[in-house]
A and B are shown apart, each in its own frame.
Chain A
Amino acid sequence: MIDYIQPEFHVDIDYDKCHKCGRCQGQCGWGVYSFVGRPLPDDAKCRACHRCVTFCPAHCITIKRSDLAYRENPNWPVAARKAVWRQGASGGVLLSSMGSDRPRTSLFDALALDACQVTNPSIDPLREPMETRTTLGKRPQVFGDEPPKEWAGRMTLATPILFAPMSFGSVSLNVHKALALAARELGIYMNTGEGGLHPDLYPLADNVIVQVASGRFGVTPEYLGRGAAIEIKVGQGAKPGIGGHLPGEKINAEVSTTRMIPQGTDAISPAPHHDIYSIEDLRQLIYSLKEASGYKPVGVKIAAVHNVGAIASGVVRAGADYVYLDGMNGGTGAAPAVIRDHVGIPVELALAVVDQRLRDENIRNQASIIVAGSIRSSADLAKALALGADAVALGSAALLALGCHLCQGCHTGSCSWGLTTQKPELTRRLDPEEGAQRLVNLVGAWTHELQEILGALGVNAVESLRGSRDRLRAIGLDAQTCDILGVAPAGR
């Protein structure tokens, strides 16, 4: 069949400046370039990941949006037409990766932070103490009440940021190493995702949360015992209610060993945990994990869906030490686009509802709240804290720091930046030490910026921002959304 779909990008090469060195061909993971005396691009394969642009010594490559005109029809955006053509030709479910690319107003962007003027002094974070230390986990309601024996200890973070779960398999081992090295350096945690823990990361395991998902890949008593905490993955913001499917091509020897499945077979994560069909089953699994691990903290990651307040309350009452809320703008290594783009609710609303619900039931001290999907800057971080989050998790932002250009090709396994691939010629492009340094820089910079925000707010500890919705105002949000967020409109 003829392919109806025309290239989205045009690779423009200024041959007068081109060195004819062929580096572009070598760098491209998508097979865009052939080389006949000079590089010849196939526009149809380009994903605008800019790997070639970044490494071209002559700076002669420009990736342009194709000028091809489509007849205007606001009801039929070009993307919708392409989707129909693609499915007409293939009969397939449309697969994509990273977070939704649908234009959607971020509620974080509609929130503005407060600052001190006159009546209370702003605080200078560079020269006065400015505490970002955060602890996650259950705490008693009253000082003097010793925590029950079955309560796990708490996790301590130097700054209210974690790295989001991304499995070895969906990302490379070098990505895992960079995340774990950075987590140790920063005094925070990385999260294995559902693909097990590679032995190379054992020395760093004090800063690793090990995940248990429906596929139970690599889950052994040893695995549960190594991590600083255990996370049950119930859902993911980018694909609530959907399982996972890591294609056999990505299951090389290392992934096979870590996941404990044969090389080359598909790694399938069922949609639900088949031992959790209801809330009492979650409680059973939480306590089973605690029992097996010597009572480590057990968190539960859920996707932000409509009834998230009640769900989170149940999760906390089931014994979770933290609830991880993943919003509908969260990233993924691979998900059906229809689910990614249309299922769930934004994390801002989910967070507001859950924090309030736990306070209404006076069980807020029983669990911490981690939010993700998507935290793009220290401003999002600060606003999430003000809405009530204890910490945020960075997935897409961490990958971006490692070179990701959000080309949404993770599911292809050919990431030119060597991140979401297992091809050795590509994965070696990321030096774990350098990657860790970039992650340390990013989290360090955001922490500095958070301290500046705290200083401007006139508080010197992050717990005084946490849940302090008085320090937020909404710009241009309707009354009902303001009410759900617990935030007054700007000017009031």
Chain B
Amino acid sequence: MCGLIGFSDTAGTRHSGEAVVRAMALQHDRGNGLGAGYAGHGIYPEFPDHYAFHLIYETREALEATEAFIDHYYDLERAEALPTRRTTGITDAPLLWRYFAKPESKKLRDSGISDDDYVVNAVMHINTSIEGATVASSGKNMGVFKGVGFPEEIGHFYRIEDYEAHTWIAHNRFPTNSLAWWGGAHPFSLLNYSLVHNGEISSYGINKRYIRQFGYICTMFTDTEVAAYLFDLLIRRHGLTAEQACKALAPPLWSQIDRMDDKARHDYTLLREIYASAMLNGPFAIVLGTDEGMVAFNDRVKLRPLVAAVEGTQVAVASEESSLRELLPAPDFLWAPKAGEPVIVRRGQAFQPPVVSTSKPAGSPVGGAVASMDVLTSESEVSA
């Protein structure tokens, strides 16, 4: 059992992480103190074009080896220890550093690959080849702050309230199948994608082998990592839309596909066939944070909770309604998304709650009773 939160403002307005930490603290009992974390998108407006590397070092040697690597392959703008503060409950913190850098231009040119792929290769290299070094995040104008502790402790430790982001995702971990270590906490991140996950990906074995075909190497001993890489593959490299990526990872049942019109049936069949090994199976709720906004979705039969709310330009999702009420005390609408139907929030686009009738039930003492997403995407939208 874990807990999660996603928050995004379609107007691009940046919000302090303080409220997110407060909302996450209400889900304290969903974790066990062995992992928590936050990702903020839009937190480094002063470095919009630099890759912001957040590094976790278990040893001084790992730090030196990683910095030698970065120094060799990148033009470094700034390197500094992540600002933290001593916090009760947080012990044995590793060395935590951040670097704002761009690929060294001649080496990038010689490599013949895109700057994003150049960075992905660097992340894979550091994670697999430098013992004791883990890249927490590697995107632009974003960063991941995570570690071993309860969410309110990790938020305090990293001074999350000092950062302002248009999109936040947060996680409270109850690790089960994998170790409790700083790198293993959520969010998992690659380039501009950050991802938190509640549940377990029972199809991890094949997902991991599938993603390996495309050069992604899972090193974090946890199933969530693979979901972050899958989004990078499907959206950035295969060019799928966020909707299509969600439908590839949590596709409709064949019985649903069989009832679609010809075009939609053709497209969904192809989508399932192509990405059969990418399908995420087992109970999960996932929130993906990006530079564009946020995507939240569930497994195909809703085995993990997810509720959502909208208040003006702010949209939030969470494992429990209580967190939504903390973040958005007067929601315009609050609902439980349907299994496999993604909630997609894009900066610059007005968010449309997925419900036709937004009238609150008469006599309800509380604004916005739970409603559910009905039809977010028309069946054929995936082919658009």
**B and A form one assembly:** yes
Q: Is the CB of B283 within 8 A of A120?
A: yes
Q: Is the CB of A463 within 8 A of B279?
A: yes
Other-chain contact of B274, A118, A365, A459 (Cβ < 8 Å): A365
Q: Is the CB of A131 within 8 A of B254?
A: yes
* A467 in contact with B270 given A119-B200, A461-B279 (CB within 8 Å): no
The reply on B206 being an interface residue by CB < 8 A is yes
List residues of chain A with CB within 8 A of the CB of B276: 463, 466
The reply on B204 being an interface residue by CB < 8 A is yes
Contact flags B211-250 to A (C-beta < 8 A → 1, else 0): 0111000000000000000000000001110001000100
The reply on B97 being an interface residue by CB < 8 A is no
CB distance from B379 to the nearest CB of A (A): 16
A128 to B281, CA, bound (A): 14
Residue picked from B210, B238, B276, B279, most chain A C-beta under 10 Å: B276
The reply on B370 being an interface residue by CB < 8 A is no
* A143 in contact with B200 given A460-B301, A463-B279 (CB within 8 Å): no
Q: Is the CB of A464 within 8 A of B206?
A: yes
Q: Is the CB of A467 within 8 A of B274?
A: no
The reply on B255 being an interface residue by CB < 8 A is yes
Q: Is the CB of A359 within 8 A of B209?
A: yes
Which partner residue on chain A sits nearest B208 by CB separation?
Answer: A470
* A470 in contact with B253 given A139-B270, A143-B244, A144-B239 (CB within 8 Å): no
The reply on B205 being an interface residue by CB < 8 A is yes
List residues of chain B with CB within 8 A of the CB of A116: 202
List residues of chain B with CB within 8 A of the CB of A466: 206, 276-277
The reply on A278 being an interface residue by CB < 8 A is no
CB distance from B211 to the nearest CB of A (A): 11
Q: Is the CB of A468 within 8 A of B203?
A: yes
Residue picked from A116, A119, A466, most chain B C-beta under 10 Å: A119
List residues of chain B with CB within 8 A of the CB of A248: none
A469 to B206, CA, bound (A): 7
CB distance from A122 to the nearest CB of B (A): 9
List residues of chain A with CB within 8 A of the CB of B253: 129, 131
CB distance from A365 to the nearest CB of B (A): 7
* A143 in contact with B202 given A129-B255, A459-B281, A469-B209 (CB within 8 Å): no
List residues of chain A with CB within 8 A of the CB of B240: 143-144
List residues of chain A with CB within 8 A of the CB of B213: 359-360, 362, 364
Which partner residue on chain B sits nearest A136 by CB separation?
Answer: B273
Which partner residue on chain A sits nearest B177 by CB separation?
Answer: A119
Interface residue tally for chain B (C-beta within 8 Å):
39
List residues of chain A with CB within 8 A of the CB of B358: none
A223 to B44, CA, bound (A): 67
The reply on A210 being an interface residue by CB < 8 A is no
List residues of chain B with CB within 8 A of the CB of A365: 274
Contact flags B264-291 to A (C-beta < 8 A → 1, else 0): 0000011111111101011100000000
* A143 in contact with B248 given A120-B199, A120-B200, A464-B206 (CB within 8 Å): yes
List residues of chain A with CB within 8 A of the CB of B205: 386, 467-471
List residues of chain B with CB within 8 A of the CB of A467: 205-206, 209-210, 277
The reply on B303 being an interface residue by CB < 8 A is yes
Q: Is the CB of B209 within 8 A of A121?
A: no
Q: Is the CB of B203 within 8 A of A121?
A: no
The reply on B186 being an interface residue by CB < 8 A is no
Give the residues from 24 to 55 in chain B that come closer than 8 angstroms, CB to CB, to chain A: none
List residues of chain A with CB within 8 A of the CB of B239: 142, 144
Contact flags A106-136 to B (C-beta < 8 A → 1, else 0): 0000000000101111010000110101010
CB distance from A169 to the nearest CB of B (A): 36
List residues of chain B with CB within 8 A of the CB of A141: 274
Residue picked from B269, B271, B273, B274, most chain A C-beta under 10 Å: B273
Which partner residue on chain A sits nearest B284 by CB separation?
Answer: A120
Q: Is the CB of A142 within 8 A of B238?
A: yes
CB distance from B289 to the nearest CB of A (A): 23
The reply on B171 being an interface residue by CB < 8 A is no
A241 to B191, CA, bound (A): 52
Which partner residue on chain A sits nearest B199 by CB separation?
Answer: A120
Between A and B, 22 residue pairs with Cβ closer than 8 Å are: A120-B202, A120-B283, A123-B301, A129-B253, A129-B301, A131-B253, A139-B274, A142-B239, A143-B271, A154-B273, A458-B282, A459-B203, A460-B300, A464-B202, A464-B281, A466-B276, A467-B209, A467-B277, A468-B204, A468-B205, A468-B206, A470-B204
Excluding A135-B269, A143-B244, A466-B277, 18 further A-B contacts by CB distance (< 8 Å) are A118-B176, A119-B176, A131-B254, A133-B254, A139-B274, A140-B270, A144-B239, A360-B213, A458-B200, A458-B202, A459-B202, A459-B281, A464-B203, A464-B281, A465-B206, A467-B210, A469-B209, A470-B205
